[in-house]
């Protein structure tokens, strides 16, 4: 059984400021979001923009955890694009349930950006303890989707954490429904090929998922169900996050996982995989 995330304090604590931007004609009315320690400019903004520091988001979230008696969490930070985007991932080993007899625990991801590409928000997920799979809940982005502001209210974060917990427990029965949807070996390969055709993931990722589907890494995944196919997808995406481009791969994997989670959940709710199979295509 793989361990959850180690506690890590570094990575997200850099600060960003707004600085004036100039042309050859002098000072403009625009500002740039600038990382203080490296000097990198992330985006052009106006005076209405207020920086929301990663540190303030993390402190507000962890204060909410403490106020609600949530303990034993583990934290890891992933910084992308030189600090333009930041993800702080929390796993809660003491909060969870079971799917097909397997332990899954609560995961919460805080995301923030300084280039306008990601709203400050919370993402809900599951962590499967049999391996390092991180599984996204379809209703994944909640809470802070309003205008980027420089300060954060602790009460607002506390309500968001409560909502995240509700989404997690509401999602468990839906994932359990996947275990009752049979998927033949060749049907699984057809679904994978359809996901490649639709651009959900690349041919290389499809080959990795297919390899796991054909020869499961864990005894618990030997059954041929939608749940086991889902685990083949998330297992490959999680294990493929290593290498020199960890942050970029993390973002790609999260995006892919969300799309697949939503599609597989719909299939489980209607009790069939027809929509996942796609149209017949020539080899």
Q: Residues 217-227: pLDDT tens digits?
A: 889 999 999 99
Q: Cα(271)–Cα(256) distance, rounded to whole angstroms? A: 22
Q: Are residues 128 and 147 in the same domain?
A: yes
How much is the pLDDT for 150?
55
The length of the chain is: 283
* Distance between first and last Cα of the chain: 39
Instruction: Indicate the pLDDT class of residue 5, thresholds 50, 70 and 90.
Output: low
Which residues on neighbouring strands pair with residue 33, listed in sequence order? 18, 43
Q: Are residues 57 and 76 in the same domain?
A: yes
Q: Are residues 184 and 152 in the same domain?
A: no
Q: Are residues 155 and 81 in the same domain?
A: yes
Which residues on neighbouring strands pair with residue 89, listed in sequence order? 76, 109
Is 61 inside any structural domain? yes
How much is the pLDDT for 244?
40
Q: Rounded to the nearest 10 degrees, what angle do helices 226-239 and 203-214 cross at?
A: 130
How much is the pLDDT for 25?
95
Domain count, the chain: 2
Look at residue 245 and tell me whether its pLDDT is greater than 90.
Answer: no
The tokens of 249 are what?
């791969």
Q: Are residues 194 and 102 in the same domain?
A: no
pTM given for the model: 0.86
Look at residue 114 and tell me whether its pLDDT is greater than 90.
Answer: yes
Q: Are residues 204 and 118 in the same domain?
A: no
With beta carbons less than 8 A apart as the criterion, state whether 277 and 198 touch: no
Residue where a domain stops, chosen among 126, 151, 170: 170
Which residues on neighbouring strands pair with residue 121, listed in sequence order? 111
Instruction: Indicate the pLDDT class of residue 139, thresholds 50, 70 and 90.
Output: low
Q: Cα(211)–Cα(200) distance, rounded to whole angstroms? A: 17
| Mean pLDDT on 169-174 | 91
Per-chain mean pLDDT for the chain: 86
Burial class (CB in 10 A: 0-12, 13-18, 19+), 80: buried
Q: Are residues 93 and 59 in the same domain?
A: yes
Q: Are residues 199 and 166 in the same domain?
A: no
Taking CA 274 as the corner, what is the angle to CA 206 and CA 126, rounded to the nearest 5 degrees? 55
Is 22 inside any structural domain? no
Q: Are residues 206 and 129 in the same domain?
A: no
Look at residue 31 and tell me whether its pLDDT is greater than 90.
Answer: yes
Q: CA nearest 50: which of 153, 199, 194, 150?
A: 150
Look at residue 241 and tell me whether its pLDDT is greater than 90.
Answer: no
Is 6 inside any structural domain? no
Q: Cα(97)–Cα(173) distance, rounded to whole angstroms? A: 10
How much is the pLDDT for 249?
80
| Mean pLDDT on 4-29 | 83
Can you state the percent helix, strand and coil of the chain, rounding each to 5? 40, 25, 35
Q: Are residues 163 and 191 in the same domain?
A: no
Domain that holds residue 242: 179-277
Torsion angle, alpha carbons of 76, 123, 99, 211, to 10: -70
Q: Are residues 159 and 198 in the same domain?
A: no
């Amino acid at each position: 059984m793989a361990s959850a995330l180690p506690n890590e304090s570094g990575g997200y604590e850099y600060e960003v400021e707004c600085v004036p931007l100039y042309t050859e004609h002098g000072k403009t009315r625009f500002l740039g979001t600038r990382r203080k320690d490296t000097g990198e400019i992330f985006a052009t903004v106006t005076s209405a923009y207020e920086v929301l520091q990663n540190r303030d988001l993390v402190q507000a979230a962890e204060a909410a955890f403490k106020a609600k008696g949530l303990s034993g969490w583990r934290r890891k930070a992933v910084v992308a694009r030189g600090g333009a985007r930041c993800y702080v991932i929390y796993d809660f080993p003491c909060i969870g349930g079971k799917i097909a007899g397997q332990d899954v625990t609560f995961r919460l991801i805080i995301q923030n950006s300084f280039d306008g590409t990601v709203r400050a928000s919370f993402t809900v997920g599951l962590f499967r303890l049999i391996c390092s799979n991180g599984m996204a809940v379809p209703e994944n982005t909640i809470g802070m989707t309003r205008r980027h502001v420089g300060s954060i209210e602790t009460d607002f974060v506390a309500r968001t954490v409560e909502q995240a917990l509700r989404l997690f427990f509401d999602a468990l029965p839906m994932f359990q429904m996947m275990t009752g949807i049979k998927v033949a070996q060749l049907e699984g390969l057809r679904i994978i090929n359809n996901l490649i055709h639709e651009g959900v993931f690349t041919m290389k990722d499809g080959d990795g998922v297919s390899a796991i589907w054909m020869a499961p890494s864990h005894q618990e995944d030997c059954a041929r169900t939608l749940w086991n196919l889902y685990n083949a997808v998330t297992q490959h995406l999680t294990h493929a996050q290593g290498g020199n481009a960890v942050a970029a791969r993390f973002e790609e994997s999260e995006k892919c996982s969300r799309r697949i989670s939503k599609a597989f959940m719909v299939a489980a709710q209607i009790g069939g995989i027809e929509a996942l199979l796609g149209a017949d295509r020539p080899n």
